């Protein structure tokens, strides 16, 4: 997988970052395939990447550690897959990410994995 050079200059460039990239995804759909390859490619580029462990998503609520990881990440890569929006965990995580983007100025980039962007936008099933 080829990852282009990414610039992280943003309005929040003085914010104390612990992670360059935060990957948001629905685990069982992408964890061992696409996300694994993407995570590896980002690390090879020297980017400190946060990938939520699948075991964390089995709880009912997002942990404080995960909320802090979101607040301390420069860029978010949202991997929308077929079942992403069926997970309240993923949707709560997405809300927090978008709140941080608005307040702190992080960069958000969506990837549509095996799903049409219009299906996600309009919540359609084929």
What rounded mean pLDDT belongs to the chain? 80
Kindly name the residue from 44, 93, 99, 125 that is annotated as catalytic: 93
DSSP codes of every residue in 88-124 = HHHHHHHHHHHHHHHHH--EEEEEE-SS-HHHHHHT-
Please give the pLDDT value at position 75.
96
pTM: 0.78
Q: Does the pLDDT of residue 41 top 90, yes or no?
A: yes
Task: Report percent pLDDT > 90 for the chain.
Answer: 40
Please give the pLDDT value at position 89.
82
Domain over 19-122 is classified CATH 3.40.50.10140: yes
Distance CA(27)–CA(100), nearest Å, equals 22
Residue environment code for 28-66, b if the CB has 16+ CB neighbours within 10 A, otherwise e:
ebbbeebbeebbeebeeeebebbbbeeeebeeeebeeeb
For 52-73, what is each residue's pLDDT tens digit? 764 454 555 668 888 899 999 9
Q: Is 93 a catalytic residue?
A: yes
For 1-12, what is each residue's pLDDT tens digit? 545 554 444 445
| Average confidence (pLDDT) over 22-40 | 80
Please give the pLDDT value at position 122.
65
Q: Does the pLDDT of residue 109 top 90, yes or no?
A: yes
Q: Which residues contact 113 (CB under 8 A, 6 or more apart)?
A: 25, 29, 30, 34, 79, 80, 81
Query: Would you list the domain boundaries of the chain?
Result: 19-122
CA contacts within 13 A on the Cβ side of 55: 0
Q: How many H helices and E strands in the chain?
A: 5, 4
| Average confidence (pLDDT) over 81-109 | 90
């Amino acid at each position: 997988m080829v990852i282009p050079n990414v610039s992280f200059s943003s309005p929040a460039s003085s914010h104390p970052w612990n992670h360059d990239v935060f990957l948001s995804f629905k685990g069982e759909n992408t964890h061992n395939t696409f996300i694994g390859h993407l995570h590896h490619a980002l690390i090879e580029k020297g980017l400190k990447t946060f990938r939520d462990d699948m075991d964390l998503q089995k709880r009912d609520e997002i942990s404080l550690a995960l909320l802090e990881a979101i607040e301390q990440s420069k860029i978010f890569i949202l991997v929308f897959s077929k079942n992403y929006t069926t997970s309240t965990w993923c949707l709560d995580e997405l809300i927090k990410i978008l709140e941080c983007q608005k307040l702190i100025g992080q960069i958000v980039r969506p990837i549509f994995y095996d799903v049409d962007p219009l299906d996600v936008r309009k919540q359609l099933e084929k």
